Structure 1
Amino acid sequence: MKKRKTPLRKCVSCQERSDKKTLVRIVKTKEGEVFLDPSGKANGRGAYICSLECLEDAIKKKALSRAFGIEISDETYEKLREDLKKHGK
């Protein structure tokens, strides 16, 4: 049986490539809503983060805003922090 390739993704903050399953996906929908996607299957543009520290760094660098092409509000960042803490990264 043929072995499948494991998809790799890059953290928007530290730029480190890692297995897709070890990273956390953040999604921007067509409506402009930004949220954490633990399933990794929600429709929309995705960006990946490897940890809470990288999320904080991405906020400082505005890496998520650049990745999605929109300005992200402080309330949205706070919600992402809470969700990431619940997710355990």
Structure 2
Amino acid sequence: MRVKKVPLRMCVGCQEMKPKKELIRIVRTPEAEIILDATGKKSGRGAYLCPKKECLEKALKAKRLEKNLEQPISEDIINRLKVGLGYDDTN
């Protein structure tokens, strides 16, 4: 019996390769809107992130999220991402 290949993606925060299902996809849609993609199937440019607060902070500090999505990210979008990921402390 053949073993199924597990798709791996790199977290933009910690830079580790992890199974795609363990990561959260953030998408820049064709309309230039940045949203969380729970299904992993929305069209647009995507970046993957671990569900850890530290990974989001590292990705934002190093501007890796902006580079991957090829678009600057405003404070409003950052706050929406934090709320969507469950990090309520939007200070």
TM-score (norm 2): 0.87
Structure 1 CA distance for aligned equivalents of residues 42 and 53 of structure 2: 21
**Cross-structure match for 1:44:** 44
Structure 2 CA distance for aligned equivalents of residues 21 and 4 of structure 1: 14
Misfit runs of 4+, over 3 Å? none
How many residues are aligned here? Answer: 86
* Counterpart contact for 2:13–2:54, Cα < 8 Å: no
**Cross-structure match for 1:33:** 33
How far apart are 1:3 and its partner, in Å?
2.6
How far apart are 1:33 and its partner, in Å?
0.5
How far apart are 1:15 and its partner, in Å?
0.7
Post-superposition CA distance 1:55-77 (Å, at most 9, x none) = 11111111111111111111001
**Cross-structure match for 2:55:** 54
Structure 1 CA distance for aligned equivalents of residues 47 and 70 of structure 2: 12
Post-superposition CA distance 1:22-66 (Å, at most 9, x none) = 011100111110011111111111100002210111111111111
Structure 2 CA distance for aligned equivalents of residues 75 and 40 of structure 1: 23
Residue segments in structure 1 that go unaligned for 5+ positions in a row = none
Residue segments in structure 2 that go unaligned for 5+ positions in a row = none
TM-score (norm 1): 0.89
